Structure 1
Amino acid sequence: MGNGPITVADARHGSGHGPGAVTDGHGHAHPHGHSHSHGPATPVSRHLRKVIAAILIPFTAAVVVGLVVLWPGGAPPHKRTGVGFDQQTQQATVTRVVEVSCKSVNASGETPTGDTATAEGNSAAQEANGTCHKATIRVDTGKDKGRTFTEIVQPDQARQLHQGEQVVTAYEPSAPKDLQYSVTDVNRRFPMGLLAGIFALAVVVVGRLRGVMALVALAVSFLVLNFFILPAVLQGSNPLLVAVVGSSAIMLIALYMCHGLSARTSVAVLGTLVSLALIGILGSQFIDWAALTGNTDDQTGLIHGLFPKIDMSGLLLAGVIIGSLGVLDDVTVTQTSAVWELHDANPSMGWRGLYRAGIRIGRDHIASVVNTLVLAYAGAALPLLLLFSIAQSGVSTVANSELVAEEIVRTLVGSIGLVASVPVTTLLAALVVSADRPGPQAETATAGAAAAARRGGRRRKR
């Protein structure tokens, strides 16, 4: 009578007997060697730490050597072409906007002709007979600060200018003085900065110290990207090699900074590394088999024109690897933590049992992550897909075009790597945590907990 079963709450909180105690039905406390709180992971033995270090230290050393050998001296200089992003820009302000007759500012002085039922004819008719806007813009930066120029905004133009609006202007010094400046975009620094601030605040409020460390790791990732990966590629280094070294550095810094220097994090690093290797191999093969050049739009065409030595297909593969890294980190850390918690909850469970339990958790993760990745790529390519829909192109025709084929290869290769990371990381975590050699104190505590459980079972039978 009164001999209740041992509960999870009793095991975790000791029922008033102090942390780590397990009580039997009589309220007697017995030591418990495992903490089931959501704090730091249970420390592993010295032997296991040596095994993990023997794998990761050479890898880390190789990454450091790669950074030193491939480190660029900055982006190589080149003469600006004035095309696209490769042009000088200055900040400016729209000081005045007035309505004018489009006919009065028509440079040719002739009324355009054509079928107004077509998009071109309708646009020409609006330009000839509609009301345009004449904007006066003041340059706010650069050597011509304070200089003003005018720009005519057509009625069907997508971006209309408004008085007081901050804009970005392109500057072409070789053009006639009246045509040296032109509005190319809107200045979005304030809303973008505000959004970034809201994001950082949300991360810190919810994540607290972990959130702060995540933001620091994010900043380091951008530094590696801007000061190593991009300049190294521009200087002619192999894009794949640069991406592997750079993404490995980002992975090591981000994971250890966010999750601490522990065996659990090290297993996540190993799982991420194996998955990245698989993504690299698959991506290389299928980019080659599908004859993807990586030169499919104005931006990549401009890069190839400015730096012909850059391997554009290698750059495509580098993008696949770097793009998959962030989601891989999430999957591998989650799976490793799940296996560790399962082991802490039941230290007697072998690696096979841990793997089976962990993979069940991972299957739910796979379904959500793969769907997220596919939808993310589809959302980014939505305007392109809309164009194909307007053209009433078949699915096979759309998929065969290089623009879409690139996204398909990028999505599927990344998804295969994500799917593979679940069993790989789960297996590594199960093998590592089950192969741990606990010290004498941990063995005594575990034996005491097991004995307490057996005594409780015998009392329940009575």
Structure 2
Amino acid sequence: MRRRATLLLSAILVPVGVITLIAMVLLWPDGDRSSLSVTSPYATAEGVSFEHGTVREVREGDCPSSQPTVDAGGTALTCTIADTQPAKGGDVIPVEVTPELAKTDAVEVGDEIRYLDLSTVMQGGAAPYVFVDFVRSVPIVALAVGYAVVVIAVARWRGLRAIIGLVGALVVLAHFILPGLVEGRPPLLLGLVGSVVIMYGVLYFAHGFSARTSTALLGTVFGLGVTAVLAAWATDAAHLTGVGDENAYTLVNASDGLSIFSVILCGLIISGLGVLNDVTITQSSSVWELYELAPDTPGRRLFSSAMRIGRDHIASTVYTIAFAYAGAALPVLILVSLYDRALIDTLTSGELAEEVVRTLVGSIGLVLAIPLTTGVAVLVVKAVDPKSTGGRDDGGIGATTAEPAGTPGTLAPGARLVALGGPGARRRTEPGA
């Protein structure tokens, strides 16, 4: 039974894995981006450079960019100025802070900032030093290290493997999916193949090779397939163009061969990876844990118990996805809420339609993956005992009948000691027992 269950899972997952690898090789980008022309916002003209330094003082004063107005007899505008000590040394310089940022009072003494040095090309026509951004390296690195420490401390080696798996997933995204989209590869195949490769690597690397992990992977692949089909239909039916986004405009103007439709379609498939992986591995583990607590539970009852856990997971996941988007898109939601429009018009508008479709498509895929994963896990767990089989293989060679109630290691009155073996085995009854 154990061998049969393992062969069954392998008969499904091994061919899927081989086909996925072959498709990945065929879809692998060749690195040709000659048709793409994007101007980097960090590119500078000759004599202009990006510098960074430490803010020593924040004050209100005459804007350096108002100097031409003053020279003409006008009145200088007032703005926020961050007196900054350049990292490369030298005197403190006045960096003009943009009005939008000045309203937030975000620039404080001691902040590390990045600014544009125009001192060699601007002579009285504009501010020679203009604020660009904050230097966030230290806090972000500290958060990343803290996150890794917490994950490893709680999950131990499995947590470390999960972090390494995440790095591998980002490598697949950066070197396969994104360049493939740029070069015009089929977005549906690209997103599906890349996602399956990521899930194979992440699940087996983080959770190990086992029937439990294989069951979760099978449910994940099924959920990805459902998500891909729904994404292909919804992207076309809902007319998701993506042109309402500034970055989309940049991509449209950068290349005639790059389709925003393709980017949206691939994004719908990838966006559900994390939550889908979460629910499938949870359901698979739930079935195994329930079985270990009560090995004699019938399969139908085991499925029902695990699905009660799955329903709770579905209920929590529904608003988890919605709130995750709401938190990331608060400025858009605030703007849309200020418009005098009906609710249905707001939800189906170009500003929100893409995120609404992404949430619904991902949710349907993960909801359908839960009963499939649970059913497969129940079938496998009834055939594969995850615990040591010592003494529990009924009818196995060398097994003995369970001891009747009484003192451990002794035989109760009327009991018989039966030895089971191969052909010619003898059955012996103790005299007087």
Q: TM-score range by the shorter chain?
A: 0.7 to 0.9
Residue in 2 that maps onto 1:404: 352
Given candidates 81, 99, 102, the residue that maps to 2:39 is: 81
1:109 aligns with 2:50: no
- Asked if structure 1 preserves the Cα contact closer than 8 Å seen for 2:61 and 2:81, the reply is no
Q: Distance in 2 between matches of 1:135 and 1:323?
A: 40
Does the 8 A contact of 2:162 with 2:205 survive in 1? yes
The 1:241/1:181 distance shift into structure 2, 3 A limit, reads farther
Secondary structure in 1 aligned to 2:66? coil
Give the conservation status (yes or no) of the 8 Å contact 2:181–2:262.
Answer: no
Partner AA of 1:102 in structure 2:
D
Shift of 1:59: 1.1
TM (norm. structure 1) is 0.74
Q: Distance in 1 between matches of 2:92 and 2:37?
A: 27
Provide the residue aligned with 2:97 in structure 1. 153
- Say yes or no: does 1:214 pair with 2:162: yes
Task: Show the counterpart of 1:92.
Answer: 52
Provide the rounded CA distance (Å) in 1 between the counterparts of 2:129 and 2:178: 29
* Counterpart check, 1:166 vs 2:112: yes
In structure 2, stretches of 5+ residues that fail to align are: 407-411, 413-433
The answer to whether the 8 A contact 2:31-2:179 is kept is yes
Aligned to 1:58: 15
| 1:256 alignment counterpart | 204
Q: Is the CA contact 1:268–1:336 (under 8 Å) kept in the aligned structure 2?
A: yes
* Cα displacement (A) at 1:87: 7.3
300, 309, 313: which one aligns with 2:248: 300
Cα deviation for residue 235 of structure 1 reads 2.1
Q: 1:133 to 1:341 in 2, by over 3 A?
A: closer
Match for 1:271: what amino acid?
G
**Counterparts of 1:316 and 1:79 in 2: how far apart (Å)?**
20
Q: 1:277 to 1:98 in 2, by over 3 A?
A: closer
1:217 deviation in Å? 1.0
Do the aligned partners of 2:60 and 2:80 also contact (CA within 8 Å) in 1?
A: yes
Question: Structure 1, unaligned stretches of length 5 or more?
Answer: 1-43, 111-126
Change (3 A) 1:221 1:454: farther
What is the CA–CA distance in structure 2 between the aligned matches of 1:168 and 1:290, rounded to whole Å?
A: 42
Question: Normalising to structure 2: TM-score of the pair?
Answer: 0.78
Identity %: 36
Equivalent residues in 2 for 1:62-461, closer than 5 Å: 62-74=19-31, 76=33, 79-83=37-41, 90-94=50-54, 99=59, 101-102=61-62, 105-106=65-66, 109=69, 131-135=78-82, 151-153=95-97, 157-158=102-103, 161-162=107-108, 165-169=111-115, 182-436=130-384, 442-444=392-394, 452=402
Answer yes or no: is the 8 Å Cα contact 2:66–2:76 preserved in 1.
Answer: no
Report deviation, 1:200.
0.6
Alignment partner, residue 21 of structure 1: none
Does the CA-based 8 Å contact 2:63-2:81 persist in structure 1? no
Give the distance between the partners of 1:400 and 1:104, measured in 2 at CA: 46
Where relative contact order (Cα < 8 A, 6+ residues apart) is larger, the structure is 1
Q: Distance in 1 between matches of 2:404 and 2:117?
A: 82
CA distance in 2, matches of 1:368, 1:167: 40
